[in-house]
Amino acid sequence: MGIFPYTSEPVAPLESAASNELELPRVVAENPARIVEIVDAMHDVVATRLAHPRRFRASQLKALERMLDAHQQDFIDALADDLGKGAVEAKLTEIDMVRAEIDHAQLHLSEWMESKAVKIPLALHPAAAKIEPQPLGVVLIIGAWNYPLQLMLAPLVAAIAAGNVAVLKPSELAPATSIALGKLIPQFLDQRAYAVVQGGAGTSKVLLEQQFDHIFYTGGEKVGRIVARAAAEHLTPVTLELGGKSPAVVMDGSHAAVARRLAYGKFMNAGQTCVAPDYVLAVGNAAETLEKQLAKAITGFYGKSPLESRDYGRIVNRAHFNRLVSYLEQGEVVIGGGYDEATLKIEPTVMINVDPDSPLMQEEIFGPILPIMKVESFDAAVRFINSRPNPLAAYLFSENPRLQSSFGDQVRAGAIVHNAPNLHLAVPSLPFGGVGASGMGSYHGRHGFERLSQMRPVMVKTAVVDTLKAIYPPYTWAKSKIIDRLL
């Protein structure tokens, strides 16, 4: 993984993670000098302005697109190895999401890079002022295991579009995808500007000790705090995409579409989605009808034996599997509840009669378990949500415009979405990010470009004629009146 001229020639199909792991050049904590060397080289590249020109940015976005096209099947196979994702889900939620980001960036790159003129006060005339986007420099991107391709490459699209160089640290908990990224990215992108660093927590620790111009982290709140503390040592700005317990308020559970959308949003990727509905607050009598509709929706999606469905994934590892299985004892299971230790699969599960103070309702579930809690009213649901940390998303299932407006006014969340969980991620022009405990900063589309840019102010004023005499001291009575009038 050196700093060499790049090639965009495709490479041979990847082997499995198990057979290919030893072939991949790796940088681990036991070799911190190599990490320092890579980061230092990136800073040297920033000084050359290699990644600044629009032509370079466009070429790298195009190269990333070619990588996805040429090796789509390799990534589908890797995602199947890591998470048991079916081919359609892998393409839809990972590969196509990144393609959409690339297409959006390619379409709008020139527009985003343009300087924007701004008005200036009359007292400062004649002059001109503008805001011009400038690259930050070296960006560290630390990816997550639940969407190991999308959550690594979507931030990279923003970094490339903004003219930055980047060091990428894929998740070691998704080793097949990590290996694929480590092997393919150097084949398609300029290795002087983009490097992939492999390894676990020790590697992340060494990386976080280095000086970066921005750190982009996707993952849990616990590690997010570690990243923020490390960044503070260098006064490095951070974007933290953290997650949390995203609620769904259901006013009427009798509609089949409500159950289908809840089931799809929740059980996609076996529930391992940061914006998945974490629990349902069913208002009034909505819970009983919702349970029946959810049972139909789950059977319709995954058949009578979901553990055997090719469209249903598995839990990432045994530690997460055991944690999720322990939740099954913290309430009454009304749908699903079965699991297979050998395959690390847990059935799509719906639970009722859960204790609000139990770990099931205190911790982010991040798995295929959906608790339903009954609440008396819409206002009671809002109070419940607001009594807990700010979620990454909050969902309301209601066609009532008044309730939709009230929900948005009262609930503080990274996103407010009505009647369609998770889909806001598929809109490149919408910002994606958290608030409070669910994260800081946002990206996607222009929002990612600006997040990873310095929106630098520039002002030009001639010195041939000094029009500022009126505001120079000494401040006489006449000058004071002129200043009041001008400003």
Active-site annotation, residues: 241, 274
Extract the tokens encoding 209.
Answer: 């000790």
